[in-house]
Amino acid sequence: MKRISALLTAVVLLLPFIRLTDAKAINFTLKEPIHSESAVLMNLDTHMVLHEKNADTRQMPGPLVNIMTAVVCLEECKNIDEEITMDQEVYEGLYNTQYPDDLRISDISDGDVLTVTDLLYAMMLESSVQAAQTIAYHVGDHKVSAFVDMMNEKAKEIGLESTHFTNPTGMYDEDQYTTARDMAKLTEYAMTVPLFDTISSTFTYNPSVPNMERHESHENWIWTHSNTMMDPESELYYYPGARGIKTANLEAAGRNIVSIASKDGNNYLVVLMRAPMSDADGNNVYYHLEDAISLFDWAFNHFSYQVVLADTAELGELPVSLAEGNDYVLAKPKEEISLLWYDEIDISLINKNKIEWYNTTLQAPIKKGEPLGELTLEYSGEPLTTVELVAVSDVERSSSKYNLFAASMFTKSSWFRKALIISLVLCVIYILMCIYSYVVFKSHAKPLKPIYAVPKVEKKKKKKNK
């Protein structure tokens, strides 16, 4: 019952993310530049990318890797309520790193009993290396490398073309890389996995198993999400409507963040990678959070849905033969098209001339609403969406024109040619039969009697001889 409830909850949460159109990238110009080296800003309701920056440049993901770790765990673990006893031997090797500041260690002790779900929360909220490594060890059948193979197989399945995983924790590794575009694609997929959105969007979590021997005050044993945009007490970075998904810091690769913000029914996803960790004076800076807030504000304040193509717009005409009256048909969109659009760009700049007709030679009758072709809306050479064009009205067929056409086409038809060939063959056969009959008739004619064959002169000669 618990799993069924979780699945129903996931379905409700995923309603805003149902795919409406193919993802399109327009890359509108920002009002203010951002510090992050790579970025993607996407509207999750339309899957339209509003802005991108070095979206295909390979970056080191850090604990953003935990998104894939959670996806594989949720899809492959048979029982996420199973209790696991924490064993330090599974993850203590991670402490021997050249970048100790990259280690994210939660308040988890050797011997603690936690469910797989508890471990997912520790990993997604606090980037816990103990939790991530234990998950991989458990789901990978005591082989972390087997789990990593599953991560890379899933990456190929989703279509992450520039991503390669080497560990489930996000610890430094030059061979572990991804791109902002791939992370956006991965996050979109992750949002369809039951429980992922719930876990990654939770701000605080209290483990389900008390473990009183090592944690005396269970109610105070709290794990908190590292995305301070979710924290109402954060004066600088709190952003109403923001949630999850993952933050990631690497000393050698800067600060990363994947987050979602919702407002007035609109949902945006932002991916930011390789933001500087310090300024010119060596002071810690949090440009990844500043960039995220800047992008969310820009999207919410300057984008709205606008009708760019009415369903009554006449967009072209096609000639129609054998028509009664007008010998053409007008085309219009099958449906009204509304797009999320930037308020500083006139919608009249959208190109509405790229039409591909299904057939340029039409013959009456044509029915109202009959498909005629497709129109692709474009801006600055980039496709926005495609809409089918249909007939505005009926075009009736003229009986007289059709009869004349049928008569003129009869001699050109294959049936006529076949009939002509058959007629010629029959005529030849008839002639041959006539010739044959004549020959047979002559050969069977009655012969003359011998008496009529003897000349009279012979008789006279006989008389003389006597």
For the chain, the domains span 2-302, 310-399, 415-466
Q: What are phi and psi of 208, to 5 degrees?
A: -75, -25
Note the CATH number of domain 310-399: 2.60.410.10
* Res. 447 pLDDT band, cuts 50 70 90: low
Query: CATH topology of 2-302 equal to that of 310-399?
Result: no
What angle is formed at CA 230 by the lines to CA 224 and CA 231, rounded to 5 degrees? Answer: 70
pLDDT digit string (tens) for 222-276?
999 999 999 999 999 999 999 999 999 999 999 999 999 999 999 999 999 999 9
Q: What is the pLDDT of residues 398-445, one digit of tens each?
A: 888 877 777 676 666 677 778 778 888 888 898 988 888 888 777 776
CATH tag for 2-302 (out of 3.40.710.10, 3.20.20.70, 3.30.70.120, 3.40.50.150): 3.40.710.10
* pLDDT band (50, 70, 90) for residue 277: very high
pLDDT tens for 355-382 read 999 999 899 999 999 999 999 999 999 8
**Stretch 42-47: mean pLDDT, rounded?**
95
Q: What is the mean pLDDT of the chain?
A: 89
- The partner residues of 362 in beta bridges, in order of sequence, read 320
What's the pLDDT at 139?
98
pLDDT above 70 for 460: no
**What pTM was estimated for this model as a whole?**
0.80
| Residue 463 reports pLDDT greater than 70 | no
Give tens-digit pLDDT for 108-163. Answer: 999 999 999 999 999 999 999 999 999 999 999 999 999 999 999 999 999 999 99
